[in-house]
Amino acid sequence: MKTDSIFYNLFLTFPGIFFELINRPPEEADSYEFTSREVKQLSFRLDGLFLPKTSEPDKPLYLVEVQFQPDAGLYYRIFAELFIFLRQYQPPYPWQIVVIYPNRRIEREQTLHFGNLLALNQVRQIYLDELGEAVEGSLGVEVVKLVIEPEETAGQLARQLIEKARQQLTDETIQRELINLIETIIVYKLPKKSREEIAAMLGLSEIKQTRFYQDTLLEMKLETIPRLLPMGLDLEQIAHALDLPLEIVQKTVNKCRRCFLSFPEQNVDAFIELLTEQYSLFSSGYLAELEQLLAPLPDDIEELSEAISIWCEQHPEIDEAQLKLLPDNSSEKAPGSKEGKVKPPNYELNKQAILNAIQQSSDSKDSQSSKSAS
């Protein structure tokens, strides 16, 4: 099972569950942001980090690690990451480490080097199979425990949790999000079964056909994509975890990325994507027009953008497609990417990049024509 992506998605969507796991009121999540943070030496990344939203000295930061496989080097890595992070950022609050294990057998303590550190109140291990009655009645924690439920009984427990979600959660959007997480856990636990078979097993086939469910679920998945990128997941892993086509994930990432560009850069970047990904919109005559239009222009992003905008206005079908690729509000940053985690284009935005895209569009059309003729 890809437990990392399940837990990180769980904490992103329902951060209160983490605080329930450490016996704190779930309302404390309102004062925290769940994020990741790069530390420069050795390319470390703190994938699970609950940071206080304010500088209140009594609120600790929580470094969260999910470990479902034995790893003798785990504590070496965790403490190295922690202390490098403290040196680089010098946060104005104390620290705590929380490691989530399925059971004690997985843990490798390395007491020779870390015995004193592991004895501190600031270091805490959560063993899911020992949660027991301490958190009984918490729907969120019960969903977490579903991760370690045996395959034979996981389906039955999942159905019970879905019924509890319907009874206890009055907000339909939150209800759908939790039900989707329950379904995702079962998908990972039972990889030989299709999504359709699992939906039928969990009694979700009918409800998943409703327009409200589909719209809510899609919106939630799209909002989650930029939040998963800083966790180190690649686009294929995100597409698999969220059960989305890879091209949808790529387009969402592109749109989020453009939020960090100026409008002329956004406009040119989107037009290059249009040329390469939707080349059927461009006739050979259109491509020739564009080459003639751009040839005398200087290599200036603002002039190139303005020329592209004017040309698009003269071709409404392309103008409409271009607008769909641009961010809704160019002044807003991508959700979940406050530190610029979404990477910029992997090419330089200039005149040559547009000309290359025009040539690629022409080559794609020629290749398609050859296939059709044969």
Amino acid identity for residue 33 in this structure = E
Q: What is the pLDDT of residue 190?
A: 86
DSSP code string of 270-323? HHHHHHHHSGGGS-HHHHHHHHHHHTTS-S-HHHHHHHHHHHHHTSHHHHHHHH
The residue type found at 366 is: D
The Cα–Cα gap between 173 and 369 comes to 46
SS3 356: helix
For residue 47, the model assigns a pLDDT of 66
Residue 199's pLDDT is 84
Given this model, what pLDDT does residue 220 score? 75
How do strand 44-52 and strand 32-39 relate by DSSP bridges?
antiparallel
Instruction: Give the burial string for 105-117 (b: 16+ CB within 10 Å, else e).
Output: eebeebeeebeeb
Give me the residues of the chain with pLDDT under 50, please. 1, 42-43, 329-344
